[in-house]
Amino acid sequence: MTSVATLGSHCSLQVLKGAKDEGFKTILICEKKRESLYRRFSFIDEFILVDSFKEILGLKCAKRLEEQDAIIIPHGTLIAQMSSQEIESIKIPIFGNKRILKWESDRNMKEKLMLEAKLNIPKSLLSPKEIKGLAIAKRHGAAGGKGYFLTTSEKDYKRKRDKLIQQGTIKGDSDLYLQEYAFGVSAYLQYFYSPLKDTLEFFGVDRRYESDIDGLGRIPASQQIDIDITPSFNVIGNSPLVLRESLLEEVYSMGEKFVEASKKLVTPGMTGPFCLEGVYDDNGRFTAFEFSARIVAGTNLYVEGSPYSAFIYDEPMSMGKRIAREIKNAEKDNQLVNILT
Ligand code: ATP
C-alpha cells in the first residue's frame, strides 16, 4: 500500500491530513525535538524520528520509506535544508518534478524561467553600483525572507551587507541577489497543475505577514527616523486574500504560461502545486518577484478549501488533499510515472 511521507515542518499537517483523508498511510519524518508537537495529531500513522532532516539521505531512513512504498511530498523545508544535488539524489520517489526545485533555489535560473514564462519581473541588479532607487537584497534559496534588506545606495548596501557577514548570516556578496523593489500590494497566487488532466487549477491567494517589515507601520515616522533599523522579511504567518474578479483571467494566463515555460526548460515541467509571488500595482498589473515550484505554506490557510477551490470541487479541498487525490488518480490509471520523479 502506498504511503505519503513528508518532513515535519512548513505544511506537513495539511499534507498528511489530506493524504489520510484520501486513504493513504501517512509518515512524518520528524526531528526528535518536535516529536511531542506532532504526536498530538492522530492522522499521522508513523513517525521516523531523526536528529536532522539530512538523515533522509541515509540508508536507514530510505529503507524504512521504501518498505512503506512511500512518496515524499517536498516543501519549503526540504529546499531550505538541502542542496539541489542532495534533493535530486533522494532515491525515494518525490511528488512532482524534483529537478525544478533547483530552478527555484538558484536566483539566476529562477529569473530565466520567469522570463521564459513572459512574467513581468523586477529588474535584477548585477552589482550594487547599479542601485538607483529602492532595491531589495535577498539571499539565494528559500530563506523565508531572513536576512533580506532594503537599500537605496551602494554605500548603504555595503554597510548592511557587512552587518550580515558579521552576524554570520551570509559569507559575502555572492550570497545576495539584488533586485529593484516592486511597489504595490503583495499577493501570492497558489496553483495546482495536473499533468493527468492537463489542467491548471487556481487554488487561492494569500499574503505573508513578515517581521519586522509588517510591524513598522505601527511606529510613527518621527520615531522611525530616530532609530537605526534595517527591516527584515522573516515570514511569521499568512493571511487570506480574495482578488477582484476582473484580475482572474490574467491569474490563469500567468499560471498557464509558467507551466508551458517549465515544460520547455525543465522536463517534464511543473507538476502539482506552485505559487507565483509578487505585487499588484495601482493599475492592477502584477509584478512577480518570485515563484515556488512546490506547495507553499500559504495554502495552510485553506485546509477546508478556499474561495476558489470551492468553484472547482463540491467538497472541501485543501492543497494537501489535492496532491493526494492526484496520486490516487495516477495509481488508479497506472500513471504514477507521470507525476513522480
Ligand atoms: P520563499 O520562502 O517563498 O522561498 P524567498 O525566501 O525566496 O521566499 P522572496 O519571496 O523572494 O523570498 O522574498 C521575501 C519577501 O521579500 C517577499 O515576501 C516580499 O515581501 C519581499 N520582496 C521580495 N522581492 C521583492 C521585490 N522585488 N519587491 C518588493 N518586495 C519584495
Does any ligand 1 atom lie closer than 6 A to the CB of residue 142?
yes
Residues spanned by CATH 3.40.50.20 within the chain?
Answer: 3-94
Residues spanned by CATH 3.30.1490.20 within the chain?
Answer: 124-180
Does any ligand 1 atom lie closer than 6 A to the CB of residue 24?
no
Q: How far is the CA of 73 from the centre of ligand 1 (A)?
A: 23
Average pLDDT over residues 153-158: 95
pLDDT at 58: 93
pLDDT at 200: 98
Q: How far is the CA of 148 from the centre of ligand 1 (A)?
A: 8
Does any ligand 1 atom lie closer than 6 A to the CB of residue 179?
yes
Does any ligand 1 atom lie closer than 6 A to the CB of residue 175?
no
What span, in angstroms and rounded, lies between the C-alpha atoms of 14 and 31?
18
Per-residue pLDDT tens digits for 97-125: 999 999 998 888 999 999 999 999 999 99
- Does residue 264 surpass a pLDDT of 90? yes
pLDDT at 233: 85
- Does residue 140 surpass a pLDDT of 70? yes
Q: How far is the CA of 68 from the centre of ligand 1 (A)?
A: 37
Three-state SS across the chain?
CCEEEEECCCCHHHHHHHHHHCCCEEEEEEEHHHHHHHCCCCCCCEEEEECCHHHHHCHHHHHHHHHCCEEECCCHHHHHHCCHHHHHHCCCCEECCCCHHHHHHCHHHHHHHHHHCCCCCCCEECCHHHCCCCEEEEECCCCCCCCCEEECCHHHHHHHHHHHHHHCCCCCHHHEEEEECCCCEEEEEEEEEECCCCEEEEEEEEEEEEEEHHHHHHCCHHHHHHCCCCCCEEEEEEEEECCCHHHHHHHHHHHHHHHHHHHHHCCCCCCEEEEEEEEECCCCCEEEEEEECCCCHHHHHHCCCCCCHHHHCCCCCCHHHHHHHHHHHHHHCCCHHHCEC
Q: Residues near 341 by Cβ (< 8 Å), separated by ≥ 6?
A: 93, 94, 96, 97, 98, 99, 268
Residues spanned by CATH 3.30.470.20 within the chain?
Answer: 105-119+184-318
Q: How far is the CA of 289 from the centre of ligand 1 (A)?
A: 7
Domain 105-119+184-318 top-level CATH class: alpha beta
pLDDT at 30: 98
pLDDT at 162: 94
- Does residue 143 surpass a pLDDT of 80? no
Q: Peptide bond preceding 212: is omega within 30 degrees of 0, i.e. cis?
A: yes
277 neighbors 188 (Cβ within 8 angstroms)? yes
Does any ligand 1 atom lie closer than 6 A to the CB of residue 201?
no
CATH number of 124-180: 3.30.1490.20
Per-residue pLDDT tens digits for 17-57: 999 999 999 999 999 999 999 999 999 999 999 999 999 99
Average pLDDT over residues 253-268: 98
Per-residue pLDDT tens digits for 3-15: 999 999 999 999 9
Q: How far is the CA of 288 from the centre of ligand 1 (A)?
A: 10
Does any ligand 1 atom lie closer than 6 A to the CB of residue 136?
yes
Is domain 3-94 given the CATH code 3.40.50.20 in the classification? yes
Does any ligand 1 atom lie closer than 6 A to the CB of residue 104?
no
pLDDT at 142: 63
Does any ligand 1 atom lie closer than 6 A to the CB of residue 143?
yes
For cell 499537517, name the residue: 13
Nearest protein CA to atom 2 of ligand 1, as residue = 144
Q: How far is the CA of 27 from the centre of ligand 1 (A)?
A: 31
Average pLDDT over residues 197-213: 96
Average pLDDT over residues 139-161: 86
Q: How far is CA 133 from CA 158, 213, 264, in A?
A: 16, 18, 34
Looking at the CA of residue 277, tell me the nearest atom of ligand 1: 10
Average pLDDT over residues 288-308: 97
Does any ligand 1 atom lie closer than 6 A to the CB of residue 144?
yes
- Does residue 141 surpass a pLDDT of 80? no
